[in-house]
C-alpha cells in the first residue's frame, strides 16, 4: 500500500523514514565524507612532500617555471644538467676556476658550479639555451659565429653568458677591460682574440 508523506512525496510503507532518522543518516554521511576528504588531503600532502633529506626548490629557468626535489648539496650546475637536462652549460673544473659553467642568475653572471641550487629558490636563471635558438640567435651568439670565436666549443656557452653579463654590467671601456673582466672564462683553445672581437662588435652595436 502507498501513502503520502507530509511533503506529498509518494512512498511505500517500508520506505517511510522519519525526519529525525533522515537527519541522523545525512549527518553520518557528511561526517564520513569529511573524514575521507581530510584523509585524502593528508595522503596527497604526504605524497607531494619532499622525501626525507630532500628539498623542494622552485625557479624560473629560461622563462619556464621549474620545481625540483633535490639533495640540499646539489649545485645549480648539476641541477641544470642532471635534473633539467640542460646540458648546454658545461662542467669544466667544477671548482670555480674555468668559467665553463657560467649562467645568468637574475641577470648577473655566476659560476653555477659554486652555487647551491637550494640558494636559487625564486630566482630567474638564464642558460645558453635561453639566450637564443639556432633560428633566432642572441646577438652575442651571432657575433661568436661571425668572428669564429671558438674551436672545440666547450668553453663557448660560458663565454657567451659571461659576455652578455659583462656588457650588462657596463664597466668595460677598453679592450683590456674586456680581457680583464672576461678573465674568469678560460679557453683552452686560445680563441681569446676572436672572443674579444665578438664582444666588441656587440658592444658597439648596442
Ligand atoms: Fe664552474 Fe669551472 S666548472 S668554474
Ligand atoms: Fe675550446 Fe674554448 S673553444 S676551450
The predicted-structure confidence for 182-194, as pLDDT tens digits, reads as follows 999 999 999 999 9
How far apart, in Å, are the Cα atoms of 35 and each of 46, 48, 118, 150?
Answer: 16, 20, 36, 64
What string of DSSP letters covers 1-54?
-EEE-TT--EEEGGG---HHHHHHHHHHHHHHHHHHHHHHHHHHHHHHSPPTT-
* Topology of the domain comprising 55-205: Ubiquitin-like (UB roll) (3.10.20)
pLDDT band at residue 11, thresholds of 50, 70 and 90?
very low
Q: What is the rounded end-to-end Cα distance, in angstroms, of the chain?
A: 93
In which element (H, E) is residue 56 found?
Answer: strand 55-61
**Rounded CA separation 158/134 (Å):** 17
Task: Provide mean pLDDT across the span 86-97.
Answer: 98
| Grid cell for residue 97 | 676556476
Give the closest residue to 177 by CA, choosing from 149, 155, 158, 200.
200
Q: Is the CB of 150 under 6 A from ligand 2?
A: yes
Span 140-179, pLDDT tens digits:
999 999 999 999 999 999 999 999 999 999 999 999 999 9
Averaged pLDDT score across all residues of the chain: 88
Query: 118-137 b/e with 16+ CB inside 10 Å = b?
Result: bebeebebbbbbbbeeeeee
What is the 149 CA–ligand 2 centroid distance (Å)? 9
Span 34-63, pLDDT tens digits:
555 666 666 556 556 778 899 999 999 999
Q: Is the CB of 190 under 6 A from ligand 2?
A: no
Q: Is the CB of 149 under 6 A from ligand 2?
A: no
Amino acid at each position: 500500500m502507498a501513502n503520502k508523506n507530509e511533503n506529498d512525496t509518494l512512498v511505500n510503507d517500508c520506505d517511510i523514514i522519519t525526519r529525525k532518522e533522515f537527519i541522523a543518516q545525512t549527518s553520518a554521511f557528511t561526517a564520513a565524507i569529511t573524514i575521507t576528504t581530510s584523509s585524502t588531503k593528508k595522503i596527497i600532502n604526504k605524497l607531494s612532500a619532499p622525501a626525507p633529506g630532500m628539498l623542494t626548490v622552485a625557479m624560473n629557468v629560461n622563462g619556464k617555471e621549474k620545481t625540483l626535489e633535490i639533495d640540499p648539496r646539489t649545485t645549480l650546475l648539476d641541477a641544470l644538467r642532471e635534473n633539467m637536462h640542460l646540458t648546454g652549460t658545461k662542467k669544466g673544473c667544477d671548482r670555480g676556476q674555468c668559467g665553463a659553467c657560467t649562467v645568468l642568475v637574475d641577470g648577473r653572471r655566476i659560476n653555477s658550479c659554486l652555487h647551491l641550487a637550494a640558494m636559487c629558490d625564486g630566482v630567474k636563471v638564464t642558460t645558453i639555451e635561453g639566450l637564443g635558438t639556432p633560428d633566432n640567435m642572441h646577438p652575442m651568439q651571432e657575433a661568436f659565429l661571425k668572428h669564429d670565436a671558438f674551436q672545440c666549443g666547450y668553453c663557448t656557452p660560458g663565454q657567451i653568458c659571461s659576455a652578455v653579463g659583462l656588457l650588462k654590467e657596463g664597466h668595460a671601456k677598453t679592450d683590456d677591460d674586456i680581457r680583464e673582466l672576461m678573465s674568469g672564462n678560460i679557453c683552452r683553445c686560445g680563441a681569446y682574440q676572436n672572443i674579444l672581437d665578438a664582444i666588441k662588435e656587440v658592444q658597439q652595436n648596442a
